[in-house]
Each structure stands twice: as structure tokens, then as C-alpha cells.
Amino acid sequence: MDEERLGALVDALIEGYDADGENFERPRLPARESIDQTLELIRRILFPGFYADEALPRTSRRFRVGTWLCHLFTDFARVVYRALQHAQPDSPAPALKVRARGMTEAFIAALPGLRRRLLHDARAAFDGDPAAHSVEEVILTYPGFHAITAHRIAHWLATAGVPYVPRAMTESAKTRTGIDIHPGARIGDRFFIDHGTGVVIGETTEIGDDVKIYQGVTLGALSVHRKMAGAKRHPTLEDGVVIYAGATVLGGETVIGARSVIGGNVWLTESVPADTMVFERPANLKYRPLGEGA
């Protein structure tokens, strides 16, 4: 590319930035790489036997975990500060740094509770899947567990008011698993996503305890208009609900009652009472030997 063409392209891009109102003076967001690295460090702290490629002997365990927590505090406080600074560019930097450190301390203090909830999720996956050989296998290999780990971390941060970072974490998990859970979704204990690929759980979804869903399930909104922002747009699943592969449940007023079962490929936009099974009529299939005409 010659210098003249290069210069013209540069000018065109800069003109586009200016036309779009791009504000280069605004503090930049934390890099996605930094957020991903922080998420991996959190996983290591929660489950060191699975995500840490180093031994953790009893004699040095306290030192190692303490070191990890110190690194997490330093790195994550910086990430949170960058996110806050971008969201609130007119706020004084010292005040934002204090707030970021406070949020990070509170999050680190919540790690033991998050770990207990995740162990319950892993146990639910083991109990609900005859193909699972152990809870350890679930933690190490199951995409549903990977996605719910990212979600529980991201949901805590979103509830605490950390901008940008929670969504980046769940998007990272979606890239690896094909499971899209908005950090705003409220999910109860012992949640299990079996297989997982293609699952979508919207921002205002509410899920009770002991719920199990399969691949291709969508818990979505009936309307995606911008004016619906902040409203309850996604369904509620009460305790013990099972939703089979390919089912779609839509709408903020749609409630699936406790212990109900939604069959595969069902399309629902209305509430279902507790202890109900919903299924499609079997397809009208035709069989003929190979080689016969239509």
C-alpha cells in the first residue's frame, strides 16, 4: 500500500471516529485479556486441584492461597477501577480507587460462599447425569459447570454495581461453552445444564432451586424493544423444573410452576401450573424401506 492510499484510509477512519462522537479522552475500559486472566485466577482459587498446574502441599497451602488472594486483590482492584472510571469519567479518581478496592475486598470475602454454591451445582450435575463418573469430572470437563461458575461470579459483581466486567466474563464463558447466561439472571442452588450448547438465559430470568435444563433451551423475552430496558422481560422457573432440549420459554409474566416438566421443542409464552407436564404431539412420521419410491 502506497503512502497516499494509507494516508487517505487513516483520514477516513478518523473522520468516522469524529462523526460517531468517539471520545478518546474518556478513560479506557479494562482489556478483555485482563478480565479473562482474572477470571482464571478466581477459578484457580476456588478449585486449585483443577485449574492450578502446581501442587498444593499442606505445608505450604496457606502461603500459596494467601499469595493468590493478594495477586487477585491487586489485579482485580485495577480492573474494577478501570471499569468504574470509564463508566463515571467525571468522578474523582481517588474516590473511584477507594470504591474499587472496597468492591474487590467484598468480592474476595464472598469466595468461600461462592465455592460452596458451586460445589452444590457440581453435585447436582453428578446426581442428575448417569454419564458422569465423579463430581471431579463435572468440575473439570462439564461446559454447564464452567458456564455457571462464570455466571455466579459475574452475578455477584453485577449485583455489587461493577460495570462492564460481569458481561465480559459471561461472554468469555459463552465463547468456550456455547452457553449464554446474562449476569443479571437470578439462579438458585443446585442448577444443572446438561450438554449445554445453545442455551440462552436472559437478563431478568429467575430460576429456583434444583432446576435442570438441556441443550438448546431459550429463556427469552417476548419483546426486545429498547423501552423494555429494566423491565421483567424473561420467564420465571420455580423449584424443581426440568426443561428438555430445544424448548423455548418467553415473557416476563411467564411462570413455570414448581416440579413441572417442559418437553423438547415446546414453545411457551404462557404460565404453567405446578406439577404439570407440557409436551408436543408426536410428529406424523412415515417409514418406507430404502429403495422404494415416494
DSSP state of 215: T
Give the phi and the psi of residue 64 in degrees, each rounded to 5: -65, -50
What is the spatial distance between Cα 184 and Cα 159, in angstroms, rounded to a whole number? 8
CA angle 286, 247, 201 (to 5 degrees): 155
Cα dist from 291 to 40, 284, 285, whole Å: 55, 21, 18
| Higher per-residue pLDDT: 24 or 81 | 81
Domain boundaries of the chain, sorted by first residue? 20-178, 198-294
pLDDT higher than 90, residue 210: yes
Alpha carbons 187 and 291: distance in angstroms, whole number: 52
- Copy the grid coordinates of residue 41: 485466577
Choose among 191, 233, 226: nearest CA to 209. 191
Model confidence at 60, pLDDT cuts 50, 70, 90, reads confident
The partner residues of 182 in beta bridges, in order of sequence, read none
Q: Per-residue pLDDT tens for 267-276? A: 999 999 999 9
Q: What is the pTM of this model?
A: 0.89
**108-114: which pairs have CB atoms within 8 A and are 24 or more residues apart?**
108/69, 108/72, 108/73, 110/156, 111/42, 111/45, 111/46, 114/46, 114/152, 114/153, 114/156
Write down the CATH superfamily of domain 20-178: serine acetyltransferase, domain 1 (1.10.3130.10)
The angle that helices 93-128 and 143-159 make with each other, rounded to 10 degrees, is 150
Q: Which three cell numbers stand for residue 234?
A: 424473561
Q: What percent of the chain has pLDDT over 90?
A: 76
Sign of CA dihedral 174, 179, 181, 186: negative
For cell 461470579, what's the residue? 153
Mean pLDDT over the full length of the chain: 92
For the chain, first and last CA: distance in Å? Answer: 59
pLDDT band at 23 (very low <50, low <70, confident <90, very high): low
3-state helix, strand, coil in the chain (%, to 5): 50, 10, 40
Does the domain at 198-294 match CATH 2.160.10.10? Answer given as: yes
- Let me know if 206 is exposed, middle or buried by CB neighbors in 10 A (0-12, 13-18, 19+): middle
DSSP 198: T
Q: Within 10 Å of residue 38's Cβ, how many Cβ atoms?
A: 22
Cell triple for residue 148?
455457571
Residue 230 amino acid letter:
G
Mean pLDDT confidence for 53-63:
78
Report residue 20's pLDDT band, with 50, 70 and 90 as the boundaries.
Answer: low
